């Protein structure tokens, strides 16, 4: 007798980055930034719905919503764009309609104390106001979803109020009922209990769950909601949101797929791209160890892990980097071990004997003990030094340079370099000393060599703690060389000099590739 296989449950994903995520302290997206994020969410990542704003906030918000709705309408996605609105004598509905919006997420009160203390109304009066608003929205041709704000406290303290609301609202023309843990107070067991009560009392009704992360349980609570029959989840990119944030899109997606075997429409290979875009626009950095999207999550440090990967992927799980458009890296430092270093050598095309590898491993361990950062790009130079070979002569050399800055004038730079034995000179101004320096180099490469200069993808400066003015500065620059990312580091007491060192490391690496 064949076992019955259960059909994977489909879970609808709504991204709230442009509304709830923008409530993160210090985050405010410009209208064109909102459009770029919305376009990537809908077109590339393929989330089912996006909530893009709150009605009647500002003229800038209105402009952003108009731009997003126009784009969505032109691409057959109008029903996937939603705006938070209020029970406010139809002002929100008119505002959304003027923007071209087709869906309102109506904010209603999901707990007795919110209804009584904030609105000063009885449940009957609140229901009647909602009824009038829903009727007006329907007359405008608008789809209505309803948030039951503070639903979690409502189920804890006043469940009869919640049921009275739902008994009435489920008879209205409302597509989805969205159940927020507004203050992030629930744990997974409570989510299971309350969600099952909702499912049992209102079978067939579409419920969404909206988690907040005050107890670091937003992801766990989201999974508990799905396990209890919830049909939709609300997330934000990078977990942005008020206070401790919302459930992160990337974490929710992988847990749904790998732990619960649920289906979504998300294109996982775009998760990293949308995370980096939102990181740049929001100014909120992603923690290096943030699951799925953190810079270090696919970097093996311990040598035993690299050895295990060589012997049948012993230290890998379902979260393989290629799934998210990334690749596994093997860090170099005091914990590297021979296997880790061998992985990096192989990727660079360097072949060493076991004895030579042992010597290189020892040197990298020594550097790690001194807390020096070792990169894959440093490896050929370490190999040359350790094996007593002459270091390959730089093909790109800085002969001399002058950078200047003066009050009221743009910073300038004059640069003379030698490339493959021939010297070139150029000058430029820029928004800073280093910017002027790079513009001069870019001019040389374009005019004299007819080549493009790599684009700067990221620039980070770190200074050792202690606050000394003479502290060494480490500059880490990520370059985009025709789609290939290259990261180089420079160390110096002067920040501009450290950046210049990192720049010439990059130019010599590229020149080696060109000549080979």
Q: With beta carbons less than 8 A apart as the criterion, state whether 275 and 238 touch.
A: yes
Q: Which residues pair with 176 in a beta bridge?
A: 145
Residue among 481, 500, 64 at smallest CA distance from 489: 500
* Dist CA 253 CA 293 (whole Å): 12
Chain-centroid distance, C-alpha 501: 30
Output the six-digit token pair for 10. Answer: 């489909």
Q: Tell me the three state secondary structure of residue 186.
A: coil
* Dist CA 120 CA 277 (whole Å): 43
* Dist CA 92 CA 89 (whole Å): 8
What is the arrangement of strands in the sheet containing 396-406, beginning at the earlier edge strand? Answer: 396-406, 409-419, 422-429
Number of other CB atoms surrounding residue 3 within 10 Å: 5
Q: With beta carbons less than 8 A apart as the criterion, state whether 241 and 21 touch.
A: yes
Residue recorded with tokens 């029959």? 229
How is 155-166 classified by DSSP, letter by letter?
A: HHH-HHHHHHHH
Number of H helices, E strands in the chain: 17, 16
Q: Tell me the three state secondary structure of residue 288.
A: coil
* Dist CA 336 CA 374 (whole Å): 11
Q: Which residues pair with 403 in a beta bridge?
A: 413
Q: Which residues pair with 474 in a beta bridge?
A: 462, 491
Q: With beta carbons less than 8 A apart as the criterion, state whether 250 and 292 touch.
A: yes
DSSP summary character for residue 117: I
* Dist CA 19 CA 49 (whole Å): 12
Output the six-digit token pair for 484. Answer: 């290939």
Q: With beta carbons less than 8 A apart as the criterion, state whether 477 and 376 touch.
A: no
Output the six-digit token pair for 106. Answer: 């109506």
Just list the catalytic residues.
Answer: 19, 149
DSSP summary character for residue 45: I
């Amino acid at each position: 007798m064949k076992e019955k296989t259960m059909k994977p449950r489909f879970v609808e994903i709504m991204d709230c980055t442009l509304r709830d995520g923008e409530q993160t302290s210090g985050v405010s997206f410009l209208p064109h930034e909102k459009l770029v994020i919305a376009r990537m969410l809908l077109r590339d990542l393929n989330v089912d719905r996006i909530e893009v704003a709150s009605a009647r906030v500002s003229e800038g918000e209105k402009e952003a919503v108009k731009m997003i709705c126009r784009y969505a309408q032109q691409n057959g996605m109008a029903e996937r764009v939603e705006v938070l609105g209020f029970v406010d004598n139809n002002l929100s509905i008119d505002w959304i309609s003027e923007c071209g919006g087709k869906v309102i997420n109506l904010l209603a009160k999901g707990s007795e104390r919110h209804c009584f203390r904030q609105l000063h109304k009885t449940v009957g009066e609140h229901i009647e106001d909602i009824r009038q608003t829903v009727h007006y929205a329907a007359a405008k041709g608008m789809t209505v979803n309803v948030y039951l704000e503070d639903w979690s406290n409502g189920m804890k303290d006043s469940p009869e109020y919640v049921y009275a609301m739902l008994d009435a609202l489920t008879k209205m023309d409302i597509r989805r009922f969205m159940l927020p843990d507004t203050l992030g107070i629930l744990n997974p067991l409570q989510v299971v209990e309350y969600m099952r009560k909702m499912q049992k009392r209102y079978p067939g009704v579409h419920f969404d769950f909206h988690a907040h992360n005050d107890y670091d349980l937003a992801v766990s609570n989201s999974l508990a909601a799905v396990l209890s029959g919830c049909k939709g989840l609300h997330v934000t990119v990078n977990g942005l949101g008020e206070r401790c944030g919302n459930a992160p899109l990337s974490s929710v997606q992988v847990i749904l797929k790998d732990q619960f075997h649920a289906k979504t429409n998300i294109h996982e290979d775009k998760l990293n791209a949308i995370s980096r875009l939102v990181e740049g626009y929001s100014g909120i950095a992603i923690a290096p160890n943030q699951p799925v999207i953190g810079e270090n999550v696919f970097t093996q440090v311990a040598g035993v892990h690299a050895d295990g990967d060589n012997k049948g992927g012993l230290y890998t799980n379902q979260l393989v980097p290629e799934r998210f458009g990334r690749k596994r890296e093997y860090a170099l430092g005091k914990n590297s071990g021979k296997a880790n270093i061998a992985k990096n050598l192989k990727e660079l095309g360097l072949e060493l004997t076991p004895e030579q590898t042992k010597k290189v491993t020892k040197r990298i361990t020594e550097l790690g003990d001194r807390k020096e950062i070792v990169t894959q790009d440093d490896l050929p130079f370490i190999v040359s030094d350790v094996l007593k070979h002459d270091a390959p002569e730089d093909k790109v050399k800085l002969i001399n340079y002058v950078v200047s800055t003066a009050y009221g004038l743009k910073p300038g730079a004059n640069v003379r370099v030698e490339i493959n034995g021939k010297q070139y000179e150029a000058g430029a101004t820029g928004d800073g000393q280093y910017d002027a320096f790079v513009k001069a180099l870019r001019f040389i490469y374009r005019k004299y060599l007819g080549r493009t200069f790599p684009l700067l993808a990221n620039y980070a400066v770190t200074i050792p703690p202690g606050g000394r003015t003479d502290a060494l500065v480490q500059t880490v620059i990520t370059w985009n060389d025709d789609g290939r990312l290259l990261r180089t580091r420079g160390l110096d007491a002067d920040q501009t000099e450290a950046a210049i060192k990192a720049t010439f490391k990059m130019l010599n690496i590229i020149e080696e590739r060109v000549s080979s």
